[in-house]
Amino acid sequence: MVDNALHHSRQRWRTPPHSRHGFRFHFQTESGSQEISRAGEVFHTALQVLKNRAKQKYKRNFTASELLSWENVELLAELSQCPSETNPAVCEGSHHSKYRTISGVCNNRQNPGWGAANTALVRWLPAEYEDGEGEPKGWNREWLHNGFQLPLPRSVSREIIRSSCKWKDDDYSQLLVDWGQYIDHDVTFTPQSIRSAAFWTDVDCQKSCENLHPCFPIQTEDSHCMPFHRSTPDCYIRSGSDIQQALQRQQLNAITSYIDASLIYGHTPQLQSALRDLPGLNGKLAINDQFKDPHGRSYLPFVAKTPSACRTDQQGERVECFRAGDSRVNEGLTLIALHTLWLREHNRIAEILKFINDHWSPMVVYQETRKIIGALHQIITMRDYVPKIIGLQSFEDYIGPYGGYDPTVDASASNVFATAAFRFGHGTISPILSRLNESFQQHEHFPHLRLHKSFFSPWRIVKEGGIEPTIRGMIGTAAPAAGPNTLLAEEVTELLLVLDSQQHMDLASLNLQRGRDHGLPGYNEWREFCGLKRVTTLDDLAVVVRDRRVAEKILHLYKHPNNIDVWLGGLVENFLPGSRTGPLFACLIGKQIKFLRDGDRFWWEAEGVFTQQQKEELLKSSLSQIICDNTDIQEIPKDSFRFGQYPAGYVHCSDLPSMSLDAWREEKSHDLQLCGSPKRIKNGDFIFSSKSGKLTALYSCYHGFKLKGAAEIVCEGNRWKHEPPQCTEPPLIC
């Protein structure tokens, strides 16, 4: 049934759509995610088949846990090809000690799956599904919640969320908003079902208004609907929990939860290899081989499969979608600009490290650069971004000073963070994308754009002045701010265009429907979780929102305070002093960021990750300096997240503190001088280790190749003992 639905979906995807000018929500996931997605869908579809058969026979509804034993569940998981848990013994090798794995596995040695790619989002509160196991809130229209039907997400969007104007936040720049979206793509990616047809009927989800997995369409007031695909399920929670929890639908995080710059480097070995400049033997990332910017600087490489889905300039040479470690890179010009900035920063650092350490292998150059880039993402996010979002007091209350790595902390992203709390930023989306010239005025050749004209348009970067006009627009424009009566701009509630849909979509409705799809508990449950007072009356809500008219509208629609969706409730709360969130989202974001820091064995401040001198140099860096080093921008605020009307508060790039990479200079060891550099191998590389007390070269193969021979060779006396291994292609299976 699942594969048949996929077959129908692929046939539809092969048919060229009438319009190629939209915003894609069906982002491509890597093959590993697709395999796990298929397994999860087979597993949960099988559960539904069993429940339907039992209902037909016994004329009543059953839960899966009433029908199955643990042995049944384990057999079903095996038959569905669910991946098995990673054994902690896998993490004992020394190659897991020095650098992060690309998938995040073995960051926590005792619990290798914590924070790793393609594992379930964690639940801080139990899910609330209408059937207890997987049916979203609102799946059955006749179902009453606290005595009332839930309001349609589209009604909530139209009557409460939609705003025709936004007020400006004179404290912060648009870059604060854009960094939030960018760093979110480093931490969470919840893939949607890879099938666009219902499992039971093969009905196209684009054309049906019926709830049939994975179709969960958004009903509108005029008896029409917007297409919506459910998030792909994980297979099942491993044995050790109770069977009801094990059979409950959980959603995947396709990427690593850690702040590790995985959106630059990828989260699978296959993607990592594809993004590297392996033939160059220089530790750099691959760059675009067709275009450079007006100053000869690099762009991101294009996607492998062409023609791609991106819009393109009708005149001149076609510009394809860019490729990066995260498939959402082409979503907008600001994301493309930030990805391009970090690609250039990686290659700039790699070039310097290779120059000062000419004995380093390309793998060491790459890994050390990746380590620095990851640390810079952590510092910019924790030092410069998060305190502005949740406020200094909440930062102190929920995050506090760093106390070292704690292996008992699960750094996995939580469902409520990914699906609700960190979507607070949707309230700060500007309807206009500003593009500015060297004087930080509207660019004379490349004027501002309505937001919907910037979606999936990499050609605008290549053909319209590079990334500088967009980055200046991010720095030199005040951020929009959300208020209880100015939440989401009409540009995203009425004019959102989706590549695989012919109609306009609504971001607010999508967020509300996604929360219900995931079975998120309501606003009041999360307030109680955070130690906040539950809202029980209109007066309570009016105090929290500080706008009685908005509070009245919410209760008029929801009828009961316990029915309020958590994303809406958190979004309308009055901001805490010095923050851009209310108390609920400040709590949920603060708790998550603390877990991401304390549960990360490779956090930049953790013992043994960097030397004291290297830490001091890392702290000198800033997003402003990185912009200076990799663009033609020469004047910038010291903190580019703070807004200042040019030229007030702007400094020349030469006046900014700069990180010296000399702290990474490494003299050749005595043993290396005696033995010389180990032999290079084709389709593989090595890093050095001295864990055993002897200089050792640890070899590994690039993705797709298999190691033949000993992975380690040791420097003894004045030579390398044993020949290095070979990397061979696996035999073809016909």
The amino acid that residue 142 corresponds to is E
Place of tokens 């508060």: 649
What token pair was written down for 619?
Answer: 């702290």
Count of residues in the chain: 734
Give the E-state strand segments of 464-559 in sequence order. Answer: 478-481, 488-489, 496-497, 504-505
For residue 206, the model assigns a pLDDT of: 82
pLDDT value at position 333?
97
Report the distance separating Cα 307 and Cα 329, nearest Å: 17
Tokens of 453: 């004209």
Q: Pick from 596, 522, 488: which is nearest to 166 by CA? A: 488
Angstrom distance (rounded) from CA 399 to CA 434: 34
458 CB-side CA count, 13 A: 28
Task: Please say whether the beta carbons of 281 and 452 come within 8 A.
Answer: no
Lowest mean pLDDT among 146-160, 161-175, 349-363: 161-175
Q: Which residue has the higher pLDDT, 161 or 422?
A: 422
Identity (one letter) of the amino acid at 358?
Answer: D
Q: What confidence tier does 31 reach under pLDDT thresholds 50, 70, 90?
A: low
User: Does the pLDDT of residue 17 top 50, yes or no?
Assistant: no
| Domains by residue range for the chain, with CATH | 120-188+255-666 (1.10.640.10), 670-728 (2.10.70.10)
Tell me: pLDDT of 41 over 80.
yes
**Confidence band (pLDDT; 50, 70, 90) for 25?**
very low
pLDDT at 306: 87
State the number of CA atoms in the 13 A half-sphere of 615 facing the CB.
10
Grade residue 239 by pLDDT with cuts at 50, 70 and 90.
low
Q: What is the pLDDT of residues 203-216, one digit of tens each?
A: 788 888 899 888 99
Instruction: Report pLDDT for 697.
Output: 94
pLDDT at 30: 65
| Average pLDDT of the residues in 30-46 | 85
The H or E element containing residue 595 is helix 583-598
Q: Is 456 left (phi over 0), alpha (psi -120 to 50) or beta?
A: left
Closest C-alpha to 480, from 102, 97, 116, 169 = 169
pLDDT of residue 64: 92
Taking residues 317-335, what's their average pLDDT? 95
598-647: pLDDT as tens digits: 999 999 999 999 999 999 999 999 999 999 999 999 999 999 999 999 99
The residues assigned a catalytic role are 185
Percent of the chain with pLDDT over 90: 75
The residue with greater pLDDT, 314 or 148, is: 148
Would you state the structure tokens that stand for residue 462, as one six-digit string? Answer: 């290549």
Amino acid at 70: W
Dump the DSSP string for 691-723.
TTSS-EEEEEEPTT-EEES-SEEEEETTEEES-
Average pLDDT over residues 180-201: 86
pLDDT of residue 428: 87
Task: Look up residue 312 and give its two tokens.
Answer: 């393109």
Instruction: Count, in order, helices (H) and strands (E) of the chain.
Output: 26, 20
Q: Is the pLDDT of residue 24 over 50?
A: no
Determine the angle formed by the axes of helices 612-620 and 362-379, rounding to 10 degrees. 60
What is the Cα–Cα distance from 170 to 290, expressed in whole angstroms? 40
Tell me whether residue 426 is annotated as binding.
yes
Measuring CA to CA, which residue among 254, 253, 107, 180 is closest to residue 589?
A: 180
Helix (H) or strand (E) holding 120: strand 119-120
Question: What mean pLDDT is reported for the chain?
Answer: 90
Q: Show the 3-state SS of 385-431.
A: HHHHHHCHHHHHHHHCCCCCCCCCCCCCCEHHHHHCHHHHHHHHCCC
Query: How many angstroms separate the CA atoms of 312 and 315, rounded?
Result: 9
Instruction: Note the pLDDT tens digit of each residue in 643-683.
Output: 999 999 999 999 999 999 999 999 999 999 999 999 999 99
176, pLDDT greater than 90: yes
* Rounded Cα gap, residues 554 and 590, in angstroms: 26
**Cis omega before residue 307 (within 30°)?**
yes
Rounded distance between C-alpha atoms, residue 100 and residue 106, angstroms: 8
CA–CA distance, 685 with 325 (Å, rounded to integer): 21
